[in-house]
Amino acid sequence: MMKFLFFMFFMIPLGLMNMFYLVQGLIFILVLMLIFEGVNSGFSLISYFLGMDILSFGLVFLTFWISGLMLLASSKIYNLNNYSSFFLFSLILMMLMLFITFSSLSLFSFYLFFEMSLIPILFMIMGWGYQPERLQAGVYLLFYTLLASLPMMITIFFYYNLNGSLNFFMFIMSVESFFFYLFMVFAFLVKMPMFMVHLWLPKAHVEAPVSGSMILAGIMLKLGGYGILRVMNFMLLMGMKYNFFWIGLSLFGGFLISLICLRQIDMKMLIAYSSVAHMGLALGGMMTMNFWGLYGSYVMMIGHGLCSSGLFCLANISYERLGSRNLYMNKGMINFFPSLSLWWFLLVSSNMAAPPSLNLLGEICLINSIVSWSWVSMIMISLISFFSAAYSLYLYSFTQHGKIYSGNFSFSMITVREYQLLILHWLPLNILIMKSDNFILWI
């Protein structure tokens, strides 16, 4: 584990020296190192406070992969010399924080870096966002997270006093207290985000630069799911009593958010709200606490991270050409960029869980899990599935078809860099399903 840490530490000076493409190459070397490392079904690569199991491995891999693609998407910051050295520093710092968060063996170090990973993303939104409203979006992001996380810190200390250890594989004391359960889980629910505490997400996405949106959709939303999967084993009794509330709220919220998606006119806002609907389904699966739910929510987190990040890249490619994210302005794109329309179709179809994407595997497992928990949930699940397809097709048909808006826009060709960016999102999303048996090892 130290080799990864030192690798990232020594990338910080390169970032400050503004070696943009060297840092990008090194991040992909880091991905290769992680692939060759591999992990077993239990915890491996253990050092004093870091270690990995399959659950950590998938999310660390996703962190490194999305970070490399963020730099690929952000070459405009480098070309315009828009404080690109500080941008690189923020990105490497965030990668470091997320790596330690996902591979912590102790609940306290996990909590510490879970909170610290908020700082670089705040820098990105406030430093490289597009509009003055980014300050408000940053404040929303900060206060939503802080409000929920301070009670969680108290519960962590309380559990240490009770159990004598905060190591993940030393959780033996089960706690039967409603407030303990509520405070411990609530911080993760805000981070996912669950319906009703999701308002910070669309604001943050709309104001963030493309790299900020990619890391928010790809990794930040997964912190909540990862945290719930880790802490649920010492709250099983409370979970059996109270989890029904979160499942009901998530499913109902997923349906409402799907309806909200259908009346968005901002591309980024639509993709951000669709993230809330997808993570609501994943949360419902986790809270059933059965095999299908845990497996499905993990696969869904990986699949959604790649798919949603790719959609934000596509929205940004259109935005850079037309200067607007408005769906009414972005009509008839199939006439200008037919090859880009293919990428829109591929990623939108993955977003609505078409085969052979990981989203399909995740949704099948989650539907199995939630329906086996209660057959009444079939009503909401069928509505969510239907409207998921509806808003995905709405996004595709509005942007690609229709009469071209007659404005004075200068169109330039799609660059090879942008095609590379899109294929590196789509290939893992649709090829990993062939090795889906690997995801099952950690349970």
Segment 63-103, tens digit of pLDDT: 999 999 999 999 888 888 878 899 999 999 999 999 999 99
Amino acid code (one letter) for 390: A
Q: Tell me what pLDDT residue 176 has.
A: 86
**pLDDT at residue 41, as a whole number:** 63
Residue whose entry in the numeric block shows the structure tokens 């406030």 = 126
What backbone torsions phi and psi does residue 165 show, to the nearest 5 degrees? -155, 150
Q: In the prediction, which pLDDT does 78 show?
A: 87
DSSP 244: H
Q: What pLDDT is stored for residue 82 in this prediction?
A: 79
Beta bridge partners of 326: 266
Count CB neighbours of 161 within 10 A.
8
Distances, alpha carbon 393 to alpha carbons 332, 333, 433, in Å: 15, 15, 23
Residue 10: Cβ-neighbour burial (10 angstroms; 0-12, 13-18, 19+): exposed
Separation between Cα atoms, residue 343 and residue 338, nearest integer Å: 9
Question: Pick from 177, 150, 149, 151: which is nearest to 162 by CA?
Answer: 177
d(CA 362, CA 376): 20
- C-alpha distances (whole Å) from 143 to each of 46, 192, 197 are 34, 15, 11
User: How far is the CA of 222 from the CAs of 86, 195, 344, 366, in angstroms?
Assistant: 25, 15, 24, 16
Tens-digit pLDDT string for the chain (443 aa) = 888 999 999 999 999 998 999 999 999 999 999 988 877 667 777 877 888 888 899 999 999 999 999 999 998 888 888 788 999 999 999 999 999 999 999 999 999 999 999 999 999 999 998 888 899 999 999 999 888 889 999 999 999 999 888 988 888 888 888 999 999 999 999 999 999 999 999 999 989 999 999 999 999 999 999 999 999 888 889 999 999 999 999 999 999 999 999 999 999 999 999 999 999 999 999 999 998 999 999 999 999 999 999 999 999 999 988 888 899 888 888 888 889 999 999 999 999 999 889 999 999 999 999 999 999 999 999 999 999 999 999 999 999 998 876 565 566 788 999 999 999 999 999 998 988 877 665 54
Q: How far apart are CA 102 and CA 430, in angstroms?
A: 24
pLDDT of the residue at 430: 93
